[in-house]
Amino acid sequence: MRSIEISNLFANQNTTNDTLHQLFDAVDAISVQGYDEDRRVIYWNTGSEKLYGFSKEDALGAKIEKLIIPEPMSEFVIAAHRDWVKKDIEIPASEITLCDKDGNDVNVFSSHVMFTNQFNKRQMYCIDINLTDIRHAQAQVVFKEHMLETIFEATPDLFFLMEKNGTIIDYYASNHKNLFVTPEEFVGKSISETLPTDISKVFSRYIEKVRHHTGALTFEYELTLPHGVTYFEARMSYLPQYEQILTIVRDITEQYKSSEVIRRHAYYDALTLLPNRFLALDRLSKMLEDSKKSHERIAVFFLDLDDFKKVNDSLGHEVGDKVLIESALRLSRTMRKEDTIGRLGGDEFIVLSKGLDKQNDPLEIAENLLKVFREPFQIDGRELILTLSIGIAVSPENGHTVSDLLRNADTAMYQAKSLGRNAYSFFTKEMNIAMIRRFEIEEQMHGALERNEFEVYYQPQFDVKNNKTIGAEALLRWHSAALGNITPDEFIPIAEHTGLIVVIGQYVVKQALNFLSRWQQIEGEQYTIAVNLSPRQFRDKNLIPFIRDSLNDANIGAGSLELEITEGVLMTGQSYIADALQALQKLGVKLSMDDFGTGYSSLSYLRQYDFDVLKIDRSFINGITQNKEDRDLVKASIAIAHSLGLDVVAEGVEVTEQLAILKELDCDYVQGYYFSKPMPAGQFIDFSSHYKKMNET
């Protein structure tokens, strides 16, 4: 298609139109319409009247979208016409479905040409060929040479007319750049002689087919031309009355590239270029189908990068993306070519391997994968250590369907995480039971607060020297109507994972502060209440305002609230953790390091943050009566805490001997089953009153 400058050829606009209209009026078997810059009809020939049912009087002055354009296409047509007029973006010739005056579909091959007259006004002419009546139209229409040239000029396709043996007798090409050889080299010769051998075979095969076929045959091929690799669609029709073959060749390079891009986006991960989730699981489905006949075993490896989130959070997503790209390369280098490696999303990958035997054993594969990921990543001058957690499910033992194998491999991967990461785990039935239990708990957790299934229990804390109650720790308990009693060890990690820990944590704080207010009023004493904060709660932007408002609502001084923080919270190293701790300390709330001694860097955290209390983990208290090492560790912990101005609480005190040793080691406070198990609020207050009276006497 071309926009033709003719301002120098005609004296005025009417002359231009008259000349063109005389040309187009010569044939009434095709539809030719003319439109001005506003898409109003300026020309409507007899062929248009026949094809669309609108008379010239009906059409002139009307806009194209009001006549023959189906409503769903209107916006597209308007935009396309505007882009050609304003931006010179041509409208390609194509097969489209328009509509006639009665609303019936009209299938046409539509070509377009744009003229610019001496007034610099653009006029678009559409040449529509009724595809359903094309043979009849060809029999009726005798194209004059200049009319043929005009129509062909508006069509970018290549036309070849051949004898039934493939000899080219005529051709038309508006642009010679897509011709493989010059016309002098192919006219009068067989088309198979003028093309590369592989393409010649394709043409010869279709020439033979089309002679015994009614209608057109379509096929695609590619040629390397001076301007690059070009993709073509050939449409071949046999004309039996003339014993000739008409072949129309269209350049579909842009469509092909667009399709390739779409296919890439649909089936491949844009970052790593690995098969995406859809393609990987589709391949697994085909592997399972094939295995029914071959009886081959298939292994599914579910891979997750350990601590990848820390890389993204601390070094940024750009570094994280480079880690994922390098991970994909390592996986590709490790696995066989016939294996499938895919990215499921985030830092999760999948590996599919079939033909399992001694040389391709899942255990060996897993070991090799762990090995290659133990090598440090070199990213932007940094050396990063990221390991893998791998879950393995094998068909048919662990499932016969895609969903079963993926779910079971995922379950096994979480088992590998629980083993300490940098490990692999094979799926077992016991894991499946555990995963089902997890899903049940997660399902019941939604709505548990509304159903009043949660209750806060309290365990008293005592001053070692004078044996008085100084406060309590708030501990959440859950009795599910559907599942019965669920331990905190089960539901807290799930609440953390789902984000429900935020609203549940708010519930605990509210309940604990209201209980403390009631307890202090009854006893007339100043007590403290200790509440655990989870890592997820620190990401809540409303944490500080919520704590402040809750203290005010309960009329409790900030110094009476002690927030317990585990080392796991501090290990993330996120700035918002430090900001929140600083804000809480400024608010006057006490900060307690919980489970001291169970991590790797507790001492550095004591120096880095302003803690008020240190809680020694029960695992150390349990051993102080049995071995000297635990006793020395507890002694050192108490001494370090006191040197830093911290009070010490010992958890898990269960026997008299433990209490005696802790008193000897100058521990400040204790709690544990020796005194009391955690109790509901009412029972706790009765216990506290009774204990106070006994202590006073």
Is 618 inside any structural domain? yes
**In a shared domain, residues 236 and 333:** no
**In a shared domain, residues 463 and 402:** no
Residue type, 300: V
List, in sequence order, every beta strand (DSSP E) within 396-512. 423-426, 454-463, 469-480, 484-486
Structure tokens at 12: 């005025």
pLDDT, one tens digit per residue, over 47-85 is 999 999 999 999 999 999 999 999 999 999 999 999 999
CATH of the domain at 623: 3.20.20.450
**In a shared domain, residues 329 and 233:** no
pLDDT band at 152 (very low <50, low <70, confident <90, very high): low
**In a shared domain, residues 251 and 277:** no
Among the candidates 257, 291, 306, a domain finishes at 257
**In a shared domain, residues 420 and 470:** no
pLDDT band at 21 (very low <50, low <70, confident <90, very high): confident
Among the candidates 101, 133, 165, a domain finishes at 133
pLDDT, one tens digit per residue, over 614-647 is 999 888 899 899 889 889 999 999 999 999 999 9
Residue 638 neighbours by CB distance under 10 Å: 20
**pLDDT of the residue at 347:** 93
The helix or strand, by DSSP H or E, that contains position 641, with its residue range, turns out to be: helix 628-643
Structure tokens at 669: 């406070």
Is 444 inside any structural domain? no
What are the percentages of helix, strand and coil residues in the chain, rounded to 5? 45, 25, 30
| pTM for this entry | 0.51
pLDDT at 23 exceeding the cut of 80: no
Is 298 inside any structural domain? yes
pLDDT band at 134 (very low <50, low <70, confident <90, very high): low
Is 151 inside any structural domain? no
* Integer Cα distance of 16 and 183 in angstroms: 34
pLDDT, one tens digit per residue, over 247-278 is 888 888 888 777 667 667 778 888 999 999 99
Q: Which residues does residue 616 pair with via DSSP β-bridges, in sequence order?
A: 596, 650
**In a shared domain, residues 328 and 423:** yes
**In a shared domain, residues 187 and 295:** no
Collapsing DSSP to helix, strand or coil, 390 comes out as strand
Is residue 542 a contact partner of residue 523, using CB atoms and an 8 Å limit? Answer: no
Is 442 inside any structural domain? no
- Separation in Å, CA 551 to CA 190, 230, 512: 94, 74, 10
Range(s) of the domain holding residue 89:
3-133
Q: Quick one: which of 189, 171, 151 has its CA closest to 45?
A: 151
**In a shared domain, residues 346 and 417:** yes
Site of tokens 């996986």: 331
| Residue 425 backbone dihedrals phi, psi, to 5 degrees | -145, 135
**In a shared domain, residues 410 and 508:** no
**In a shared domain, residues 209 and 303:** no
**pLDDT of the residue at 48:** 93
**In a shared domain, residues 83 and 42:** yes
* b/e 365-403 (16+ beta carbons within 10 angstroms → b): bbeebbeebeeebebeeeebebebbbbbbbbeebbeebe
CATH of the domain at 334: 3.30.70.270
What domain count does the chain have?
4
**In a shared domain, residues 541 and 567:** yes
* b/e 314-348 (16+ beta carbons within 10 angstroms → b): ebeeebbebbbebbbebbeebbeeebbbbbbeebb
Is 222 inside any structural domain? yes
Residue 137 neighbours by CB distance under 10 Å: 17
* Integer Cα distance of 160 and 234 in angstroms: 10
Task: Using alpha carbons only, give the angle 597, 599, 605 rounded to the nearest 5 degrees.
Answer: 85
Structure tokens at 543: 């944490």
CATH of the domain at 160: 3.30.450.20
Residue type, 526: Q
pLDDT, one tens digit per residue, over 447-463 is 999 999 999 999 999 99
Is 613 inside any structural domain? yes
| Residue 390 backbone dihedrals phi, psi, to 5 degrees | -125, 130
Is 235 inside any structural domain? yes
- Separation in Å, CA 245 to CA 113, 174, 191: 28, 20, 12
